[in-house]
Amino acid sequence: MSRDVGLLLLPLLAFLTGSIPWGMLLTRAFSPVKITRAGSGNIGATNVSRTAGRFLGLLTLLGDTAKGALPVAFAGRLFETPGPWRETYMVCIALLAVFGHLFPLFTRFKGGGKGVATVAGCFGALSPPALLILVMVFAMTLCYFNRVSLASLAAAFSGPAVIWEATHSPVFTGFAALSGALIWIRHKDNLRRLIKGVEPPFL
């Protein structure tokens, strides 16, 4: 496959890859749990871990992270010339992977995850140092408050500043801001529970 064909096909492949509902596939294959009816009904790693076991939750986390990391890393290899056009192409691929996760084609655009792991995968391909810092933000918040949702929101809120300091790229920073806003929107129910003090702990 030529480079030009790859550049044209990758957006579709990124959306299709993002659409793979790993939480649903893994629980159907290895657990009696119907993930869309268990716990919060979300197909993401946190709900899989709570309802079907931590091992399947970990596999879901890895799968959802790879959905963001692989297409964006491939985009960087296809578009080798550094500069704003390369950054814009990589961000477009990242957004398509994230939207595929939020609105999966394979589940008729319904029941997608909340985007945290897939966005983290995208950050890993865009800027590994930024991802490392955000993982630290997530981990420290989780350890102190024992709420995955709050840790996710803290990392999403920190994303634009961290990615700017790591890359000084307006394009990457714009992706961090947009993806962070999407994560906050997808966590609206968690926010309500956090405010009321009824959000369940992780452990």
Size of the chain, expressed as the number of residues it contains = 203
Alpha-carbon distance values, 170 to 12, 34, 100, 178 (Å): 25, 42, 24, 12
The predicted structure's pLDDT at residue 76 = 93
The predicted structure's pLDDT at residue 191 = 94
pLDDT tens, position by position, for the chain (203 residues)?
577 777 889 999 999 999 999 999 999 999 998 988 888 888 889 899 989 999 999 999 999 999 999 999 999 999 878 889 999 999 999 999 999 999 999 888 888 889 999 999 999 999 999 999 999 999 999 999 999 999 999 999 999 999 999 999 999 999 999 999 999 999 999 999 999 999 989 87
Which pTM value belongs to this model? 0.93
The predicted structure's pLDDT at residue 41 = 82
The predicted structure's pLDDT at residue 109 = 85
Distance of alpha carbon 94 from alpha carbon 174, whole angstroms: 12
The predicted structure's pLDDT at residue 111 = 80
Q: Which long-range contacts (CB under 8 A, 24 or more apart) does 151-159 make?
A: 152/114, 152/116, 152/183, 152/187, 153/183, 153/184, 153/187, 153/190, 153/191, 155/116, 155/120, 156/116, 156/119, 156/180, 156/183, 156/184, 157/184, 158/133, 158/134, 159/119, 159/123, 159/130, 159/134
